[in-house]
Structure 1
Amino acid sequence: MTASSTRRTTAARSRLAAVGSIAVAGALLLTGCGDQTDSGNDSGSKESASSSKAPLFDKLPADIQKAGVIKAGTNAEYAPMEYQEGGKIVGVDIDIANALGEQLGVEFKFTSGSFDGLITALNSGRYDLAMSSMTDTKQRQEGLDDKGKKLGPGVDFVDYFKAGTAVYVAKGNPKGIKSIEDLCGQTAAVQRGTTYEAALQAQSKACTKDGKKKIDIESFENDTEAQTRVKSGGAVAGVNDYPVAVDLARKADGGNAFEVVGEQVDAGPFGIAVNKDNKELTSALEAAVNAIIEDGTYKKILDKWGAQSGAIDKAAINGGK
C-alpha cells in the first residue's frame, strides 16, 4: 500500500501523535482473525552485530539467542512506515528494527500478512513480535473487541513512536471536507480492523447524537483498496495514520491524487506487540529502544524519513490508553 492501524482500536485508534512533516517516502484490530501469507521477503538488513559484541544479547530469551533471529510480523502496505520496494520490506519501522537488532545481536526477519491477523498470528507462535505501526491501546493489551468482549489473551507493547489519525481527500477537495466532523452523512473509506476505523465509528455515533446523518463507512481488507475508492470518487475521504496519509498525498500520482485536510487527531503511541508470556523479550526490546534513542541512531532514522515529529524521549511498556 502506498500509505497506511493504529497499521494499524480504541475509539480513536490513531496508530497516534503528530508526525509533522514527512519529507521522504516512506495503522489492528484488537486481536482479530485473518489469514496471512508469507511474503517471502525479509527486512533486507545488513548482518546484525555479532552476539559477542551486542550489548543487550544476554537479555534475550534463550531460544532467540540460539536462533539468532527475531521473527517479525507486519503489514507492509503503509509507506513510509513499512512497505515493499524492489522485492524487500522497507520503511521507518524496518530501519528501527534493524537498529534494535544491532543492539540485541540478532537479525529481524519480517513477513507481511493481513493487519487484522497480526496479533492472532503472534499469539499462535508464528511470530516473536508484530511491528506494523500498531497503536498501543488498552483494548489490544487486554484482548478485547470494541464492545469489551474478550477475544484473546491480548499482548504487551513496547512503545517506540507516536502518531495520530488524519483525513485525506481527492486532490482539490471537491466536497470541501475540513475535518473528520465534516464526514457526517458522507461516505468514507478505511482499512478494516484499524484504530482509524474505530475513529470513524465513534464520529458516526457523534453525528447521529447531534441529529446529523451517520457516516457511511466502507471498510476494506487493505488500505490500497480504500485509497482507490477515494480516488474514484466512491468515497469523499479516507482516514489513515497521519504519517501515512501525508506520504500518500506527497507520492500518489506525483502528488496529484490526494491531499490531507485538517489536523491530526487522537494522538497515541505505536508499539511493538509481544506475547504476554514473553516478558524477557519485552524487557530486551525496551532496553534496545532506549539504547538507540540515547546513542542518536533513532533520531538519524526518523530524520532520514522526515518523521521527526513522531519521536519519543523514552520507551514505555503498555503506555497506550
Structure 2
Amino acid sequence: MKRKLLGLSLVVLLLSALMLTGCSSGGSKTSEDALADGVLSIGVDDTYLPMEFRDDQNELVGFDIDFANALAEELGVKAEFQTVAWDGIFNGLNAKQYDAIISSTSITPERLEGFSMSDPYVANGIVIVSRKDATPVKTFKELEGKTLGAQIETTADIAAEKLKVEEGVNVEIKKFDGMLDAFAALQGKQIDNVITDVGVAMYYVAQNPDLYVVSSDVLTNEPIGITSRLADTATTEKYNEAIKALQESGKMSEISMKWFGQDMTKDIDTELVVIE
C-alpha cells in the first residue's frame, strides 16, 4: 500500500513542527482536541482507484471516502477532505494541515515508529497483475527479462526494488505517478506487468475481466490503517473504537462489498509481512 520513506527529512520536519507549535498563538489543534471543533480533517491523495479518486463529475469517491464519512458519523463529527499529492501527504500531517491521513496507508514497522496508527480497517497485500493475452507471472522470479510497472514510493514499488536485488531478477521497474497511468501502459503493452495492492488489482480486473488477471499469490501482508501524528494517541483510540463499531454494525462489510465485491474488512491478519 502507499508509503513514504522516512529519514532525516522527517526528523527535521518533526523538529520544525515542534518549534512552530512552541511559537503558535494556539490556533492549531492539539492531540487532546483534534476532534473538539466537530471536524475531522483528512488528507487524501485522490488518484488511487478504487480507494480515493475523482469520478466523472469530479466528486471525491472511493472506499476510503465512504469509510471516512462513516467514521466521522460514528464519531459525531463532520469529515472534511484535503487532496494532497502523495509525496507531500506525511509532511502535511506533521505540519498540522489536517488531523489524519485516510488514504490507503499501509501499516509498516517503519511507519509505526514515526506515526500513531489505528487498528487496521481493511486487509491488504501486494500482487502481480498480468494481461490475459500473455503468459501469467505467478512469482517475482518469473519477471526475468520483463518490464514491471509500479506507483512510485508505494510499498509495491519499494518491495519490487528490494526483490529485484534479493532474488537477482533482471526486471525493469517503470515508475508511474498513479495506477491509472500504470494500467494504461499495461493495456497498451508498454509494460508487461503491474505490481500493486490487492484491492486496487481486484478493482481493475473487475473493470476489465477480459484484459487483466491477478496472476500471483499475495506477496505481503500490510493492512491499512488511519495515520495520525505520533502524539495523537488519544484520538487514535477514538478511531479504534469507531472502527470496531462499524465492523460490528456491518457498515464496513457493506462498503467493502460495494468497492471490492467481497468483504476485506473481517478477520484481518495483523501480523505484518512487509518487504522494505
**Category of TM-score, reference length = shorter chain:** 0.7 to 0.9
Aligned partner of 1:105 in structure 2 is 76
Maintained 8 Å contact 2:253/2:263: no
Equivalence for 2:22: none
Counterpart pick for 2:107 among 126, 136, 139: 136
Once residues 63 and 281 of structure 1 are traced to their aligned partners in structure 2, the CA distance between those partners, rounded to angstroms, is 7
Which residue identity is paired with 2:191? A
Code of the residue aligned with 1:80 in structure 2: it is P
1:91 counterpart (51, 62, 74)? 62
How far apart in 1 are the matches of 2:253 and 2:174?
A: 37
Q: As a proportion of its length, which structure holds more helix?
A: 2
Alpha-carbon deviation of 1:31?
4.1
SS of the residue corresponding to residue 227 of structure 2 reads: strand
Deviations 1:97-144 (A, max 9, x none): 1111111111112222222322121111112111111110011223xx
Task: Name the CA shift for 1:82/1:314 in 2 (closer, same or farther; >3 Å).
Answer: same
1:238-281 Cα offsets, whole Å, 9 max, x none, are 111111111112225xx444332122221221011000111221
Given the superposition, is the C-alpha separation of residues 125 and 87 from structure 1 closer, same or farther in structure 2, using an over 3 Å criterion?
same
Q: Identity of paired residues, percent?
A: 26
Aligned length: 250
If the length of structure 1 is used for normalisation, what is the TM-score?
Answer: 0.71
Partners of 1:105 and 1:320 lie apart in 2 by 35
Partner residue, 2:201: 245
Query: Which residue number in structure 2 is paired with residue 162 of structure 1?
Result: 123
Residues 30-59 of structure 1, C-alpha deviations (whole Å, 9 max, x = no match):
3488xxxxxxxxxxxxxxxxxxxxxxxxxx
Distance 2:34 2:265 in 1: 31
Contact persistence 1:136–1:320 (CA under 8 A): no
Question: How far apart are 1:64 and its partner, in Å?
Answer: 2.6
Structure 1 residue 294 corresponds to structure 2 residue 255: no
Maintained 8 Å contact 1:207/1:215: no
Q: TM-score, normalised by structure 2?
A: 0.81
Spell out the pairing of 1:27-176 with structure 2 (5 A cutoff): 28-31=3-6, 61-66=32-37, 68-85=38-55, 86-142=57-113, 154-158=114-118, 159-173=120-134, 175-176=135-136
**Is 1:312–2:266 an aligned residue pair?**
yes
Q: Which runs of 5+ in 1 are unaligned?
A: 1-5, 9-27, 34-59, 143-153
Aligned to 2:16: none
Give the 3 Å change call, closer, same or farther, for CA 187–319 of structure 1 in structure 2.
Answer: closer
CA RMSD of aligned residues (A): 2.5
Secondary structure at 1:64's aligned position in 2?
A: coil
Q: Secondary structure at the residue paired with 1:188?
A: strand
- Deviation, 1:165, is 0.8
RCO (CA 8 Å, sep 6+): is it higher in 1 or 2?
1
2:224 alignment partner, SS class: strand
2:217 equivalent in structure 1: 263
SS in structure 1 at match of 2:223: strand
Aligned residues of 1:196 and 1:241 also touching (Cα < 8 A): yes
| Partners of 1:200 and 1:215 within 8 A in 2 | no
